[in-house]
Chain A
Amino acid sequence: MVSRRASRLAQVRLWVVEAAVASARPMSVQVLCETTVARLGVTGAVVTVDNAPGRSETRHATDPLGARLAELQVTVGEGPGVDARHDGGPVLVADLDTRHSQRRWPLFAPLAVEAGAAALFTLPLCVGAIRLGTLTLHRIEAGQLDGATLADALAFAGFALTLLLDQQAGIPLAGGDPADDGLPLRSAQVHQATGMVSAQLDIGISDAFARLRARAFADRLPLNEVAADVVARRLRFGSTNDAP
């Protein structure tokens, strides 16, 4: 049975691949942002990446407004992106020009409205404690994302996450296990194995996940299988038997 999540993700992947092929460009965060805008009918899309805890940098913005909104949040130190990175959940703001929004972000919200934004939807790109960045969609008209659009937006975020993880693990973008979208607990073992590798190699959780994914890619095995081997203690990452 192909789950609905898997089919949304496959659809989104296909859209991005088509856009890359049509413009004769390699797969990239930029192509993904452009495809998100084209398919979801939003004004713009921005991917930010976290270089260090609390330090976020714009990787790509499809329009100047998006770049401005990302920059504003860095400047004033608050906003939906800051919140999303902090607690790992989406922050969906259908209208920035309401009392609730203005109270929640007293510095950011008025400036965002002044810049011309009306709605902002930030989806964190994270795997548990591994925080890679955010995908943010904005609109110049207020209003919610409907259920289907939100589901697609989450699928785009899943794919953006995969691209950032691939980059981190040093494997070709979107070249790894297509079943791996990082997020759902399809397989708790992947996250369990990440924790174990982090302890075995005495490295950070983010590096541990990159090592696990790189290993799966190098061995041409599904990530799940490599993780299951680690959890069952058939495979141990260590200086002795883990060739880099």
Chain B
Amino acid sequence: MDDERLMATFVELADTLTDDFDLIEFLHLLADRCVELLDVDAAALLLADQHAELQLIATSNEQARLVELCQSQYDEGPGLEAFRTGARVSNADLAGAGVPWPRFASAALVAGFAAVDALPMRLRTEVIGTLKLFRSRAGELSADALRTGQALADVATIGLLQQRSIRYHEIVAEQLRRALHSRVVIEQAKCLVAERLGVDQAGAFAVLRGYARDHHRKLGDVAHAVVTGQTSANDLIGTPGPARNPGW
């Protein structure tokens, strides 16, 4: 692993932990860096809500199948196990015999993933979520990558809880609800853009993200502007389009 790249990532992540901190943007950045640094093909971050159910907050590429796979319609799977036990859960060959979560495994294979690792996001004794790493080829993830992955999961935990030292359930209620709503806005925006531009969801997400970066705006704000009609899909790709109905 490239040490300098790794160091740069931690500096970059620490840099985003400002007053004006955007949880959902931060977690997307973290998911992206996992893919770049850890030799994995996709990463997803899930956080537990006040009902102790895992909710998907960020993925590395927003491919529709990955999003579906990470939603908690399965009451089984490595993410849930890592969350419940507080320990890493790995499966190096989802196509192999004896996978403990058959429904999750077959859905993962359909989505193009052959191996998975789920790392707990731990704060002291409490587990607040999981970082899931997917690979398209079977095989173990190196010990080095797992260590770095855990360090990134720890950074995510700190990011989530850094803002104020108020009571945990309130942090969960305020922060997580806000993040979940941002997540819903991104789903709404992604598909509105996909429909307008005739691209798939991952493509539409890349357009949203690229625009947010180029214009130094938060991903959630751009998604919101698109959904409320302040920014058109054509604006995102730099093509002037017809003005939208101002009554929105």
**Partner-B contacts on A (CB < 8 A):** 1, 3-5, 8, 53, 87-92, 124, 126-129, 144, 147, 150-151, 154, 183-189, 191-196, 198-200, 202-205, 231
B156 to nearest A CB, angstroms? 18
User: In the bound complex, how far is the Cα of B181 from the Cα of A3, in angstroms?
Assistant: 20
Indicate if the CB atoms of A5 and B227 lie closer than 8 Å.
no
The 4 closest A-B pairs by CB, nearest first: A89-B178, A128-B184, A195-B191, A88-B181
Complex A-B: 18 CB contacts under 8 Å: A5-B49, A8-B51, A128-B181, A129-B185, A129-B228, A150-B173, A151-B51, A187-B73, A191-B188, A191-B191, A194-B191, A196-B191, A198-B192, A198-B227, A199-B196, A202-B245, A205-B228, A205-B248
A4 near B178: Cβ-Cβ < 8 Å? no
Q: How large is the interface on B (under 10, 10 to 19, 20 to 34, 35 or more residues)?
A: 35 or more
Mask of B195-218 contacts with A, CB within 8 angstroms, 1/0: 110000100000000000000000
Determine if B39 is an interface residue (Cβ-Cβ < 8 Å).
no
Q: Quick one: given A129-B188, A204-B229, are A1 and B177 in contact (CB under 8 Å)?
A: no
CA distance A183 to B68 in the complex (A): 17
Please indicate the chain A residues that have their CB under 8 angstroms from the CB of B169 in the complex.
147, 150
Tell me which of A89, A129, A144, A193 has the highest count of chain B C-beta atoms within 10 A of its own C-beta.
Answer: A129
Are B68 and A195 in contact, CB atoms less than 8 angstroms apart? Answer: no
Given known A-B contacts A184-B49, A194-B188, A205-B227, A92 and B71 have beta carbons under 8 A apart: no
Residues of A within 8 A of B247 (CB): 204
Shortest distance from the beta carbon of B59 to any chain A beta carbon, whole Å: 11
Q: By the criterion CB–CB under 8 Å, are A128 and B185 in contact?
A: yes
B155 contacts chain A at the CB level, 8 A cutoff: no
B175 within 8 A of A: yes
CA distance A45 to B49 in the complex (A): 24
Q: Which of A4, A183, A204 contacts B248 (CB 8 A)?
A: A204
Contact of B177 among A88, A147, A203 (CB under 8 A): A88
How many angstroms between the C-alpha atoms of A69 and B235 in the bound complex? 40
Question: What 1/0 mask marks residues of chain B from 149 to 177 whose CB sits below 8 Å from any chain A CB?
Answer: 00000000000000000010110011101
Chain B residues with Cβ under 8 A from A204's Cβ? 228-229, 245, 247-248
Residues of chain B with a CB closer than 8 A to A185's CB: 55-56, 71, 180, 183-184, 187
CA–CA, A183 and B67, complex, Å: 17
* Residue of A whose beta carbon sits closest to that of B177: A89
Apart from A88-B178, A128-B183, A196-B191, what are 16 other A-B pairs with CB-CB below 8 Å? Answer: A3-B51, A5-B53, A124-B177, A147-B169, A154-B177, A184-B49, A184-B53, A191-B191, A192-B191, A194-B188, A195-B192, A195-B193, A195-B227, A199-B191, A199-B192, A231-B64
Q: Point out the residues of chain A lying under 8 angstroms from B91, CB to CB.
A: none
B61 interface residue, CB < 8 Å from A?
no
Contacts of A8 in B (CB 8 A): 51
Contact between B180 and A151, CB atoms less than 8 A apart: no
- Inter-subunit contact B51/A126 (CB<8 Å): no
B72 CB-CB contact with A under 8 Å: yes
